[in-house]
Amino acid sequence: MQLESMYQDIILDHYRNPHHKGLRDPFDAEVHHVNPVCGDEVTLRVSLKDVNGEPVVEDVSYDSLGCSISQASASVMSDLVIGKPVAEAMTISQAFLELMQSKGSRVDGQPDEGLLEDAVAFVGVSKYPARIKCALLGWMAWKDATAQAMEVAQ
Amino acid sequence: MTSVHLDVEAVRADFPALARTVRNDKPLIYLDSGATSQKPAQVLDAVRSAYEQHNAAAHRGTHLLGEEATDLYEGARATVAAFLAARPDEVVFTKNATEAVNLVAYALSAPGQNPELQVRAGDEVLITEMEHHANLVPWQQLCERTGATLRWLDVTPEGRLDTDDLDTMITERTRIVAVTHQSNVTGTVPPVAEIARVAHEKGALVLADGAQSVPHQPVDVTALGADFLVFSSHKMLGPYGIGVLFGRAGLLEAMPPFLTGGSMIEVVRMEGSTFLPPPQRFEPGVPAIAEAAGLAAAVDYLTALGMDNVAAHEESLTAHALDALREIDGVRILGPDTTKDRGGAVAFEVDGVHPHDVGQVLDELGIAVRTGHHCAWPLHRALGVQASTRASFYVYNTHDEVDALADGIRYAQRFFSTG
């Protein structure tokens, strides 16, 4: 069955034990995103720090209600971006978006594991268009919050 | 288990879509008729035949084909009217139920029209927490446009409509009460006739949302007591693109048009225009004769089955579903626990498994259900739920399919290690 190809063990692990979950202080920006089709929602905070003049993601904290894909994706996202320079994290975000839009063409291929690390586990989601928004919910919230945090910094 | 009310095997044979296989070559188990129904060959044939044999612009011209197209359209109107025990001039064809609600909401706020109908600042509009967005958002908009106050009846924890305070919730300032005739989430059938009685005593109009009732139970507009009833063709075996507004004849006569243009005018001059009497007043543009023919064929199909039989068959499936789901640990059914005043929509939660994930597993097994808030977000909040999974039944569903649903839910629980 194809279910296992979407619901890989990594995803189910993150769903049962989400990383970095919970809203924390201090933060530079907070956003609230919703998927109107299903009612899944996420409140997400970002705090940035300055390292040698470059913005770096210090913390991402979030609270959310949603399906296994949306929860696991937010968890994996937080692992991937925390501690990284914003520019690098944005590149990872773009790579993930492209993976989601690949329409299953990369399921049997070699997604860029180096860049995406655990996020490659979501490659199966690209075959189920209805779930793409689930996987992207946390990422879109992080991008929005980070953009707002960068504006505040300037 | 076979049905004593319908020859379900014979019915299923009429529906080409049910022959499909879906994921993993599994046969389709379609439990999403609350979203849209499948169509029997008789409806598809009627639509095709309208285009092949009788296609012309109705109500216009003097040629034979035009006459046939007109007969088709007006014949469909008469068929729908008879189905509701209404008069043909009380049946307006719209695009769907949603448009029909918007038509009424607009008519109550159109400036300079019949003052008796017009809603003003300080007036009240009463709806319920149970409504589908189609019978909710237009009323919010009406209140925003006019300065009227929106009030609503609550939903009880059991998923019934709280009518305890009906006498105080409907006041002398209430202009219209809009209420569902059957919930698309909990299946609840509120006491519309009783609500109408109280509303009329206080001089308020009543609009009933029949999108989930007209397809599934016998509806007589006089017995129902509502001034307006709306429903959609595509939820009752008919094609998309056509719906119905029933309006008491005297009422429609007093209402201004909603969408204007050709077909609904009497005289047009550059300085201004006058409009036809209802129902034509509310039917702008070239009539959708093929869609009307399809809807008429759907009504004929349902009439041949007998709406009492349709309702009894669904009650039997719903009772089976409620029993089967009640047996599963960790499953919570939303809404009434019995089939009394409750139709064939069964929405439920599965502990520890989000509706999307339940739906995904069921999809893998060939079972089509709906997940999310089903266009009834406030209802979900009122029931304390973020989102739900909904199975909805119709004439072509079987008891075996209900068993498959229950098995699928257990499988989802095992897959996510909660069962």
Residue B3: inside a domain: no
Chain B residue with the nearest C-alpha to that of A38: B372
B234 lies in the same domain as B367:
no
Looking at the complex, does the CB of residue B361 fall below 8 Å from at least one CB of chain A? Answer: yes
pLDDT in tens, B233-271: 999 999 999 999 999 989 999 999 999 999 999 999 999
Q: ipTM value of the model?
A: 0.88
Residue B399: inside a domain: yes
* SS3 state of residue B295: helix
The H or E element spanning position A30 is: strand A29-34
B170 lies in the same domain as B53:
yes
Given a cut of 50, whether residue B1 has pLDDT beyond it is no
Q: Residue B375 catalytic?
A: yes
Q: Quick one: pLDDT band at residue A2, thresholds 50, 70, 90?
A: confident
- The residue from B303, B330, B345 where one domain ends is B303
Are the beta carbons of B314 and B5 closer than 8 angstroms? Answer: no
Q: State which residues form the domain around A133.
A: 3-153
pLDDT of residue A154: 75
Integer angstrom CA distances of residue A133 from A1, A46, A93: 23, 21, 14
Q: Quick one: pLDDT band at residue B361, thresholds 50, 70, 90?
A: very high
* pLDDT top residue among B418 and A31: A31
Catalytic residue among B211, B288, B375, B405: B375
pLDDT in tens, B44-59: 999 999 999 999 999 9
Q: How many domains does chain A have?
A: 1
Are the beta carbons of A73 and A100 closer than 8 angstroms? Answer: no
Shortest Cα distance, chain A CAs vs residue B375, angstroms: 8
Residue B392: inside a domain: yes
> Which CATH number fits the domain that encloses residue B234?
3.40.640.10
Residue B39: inside a domain: no
CA distance B68 to A42: 57
Report CB contact under 8 Å: B354, A39.
Answer: no
Residue A3: which of B356, B380, B415 has the nearest Cβ?
A: B415
Q: How many domains does chain B have?
A: 2
Predicted TM-score (pTM) of the model is 0.94
B316 lies in the same domain as B298:
no
CA distance B55 to A46: 61
Which residues in chain A are closer than 8 Å to B417, comparing Cβ atoms? 12
Residue B208: inside a domain: yes
Shortest Cα distance, chain A CAs vs residue B257, angstroms: 32
Given a cut of 50, whether residue B314 has pLDDT beyond it is yes
pLDDT of residue B316: 97
Q: Is B277 left (phi over 0), alpha (psi -120 to 50) or beta?
A: beta
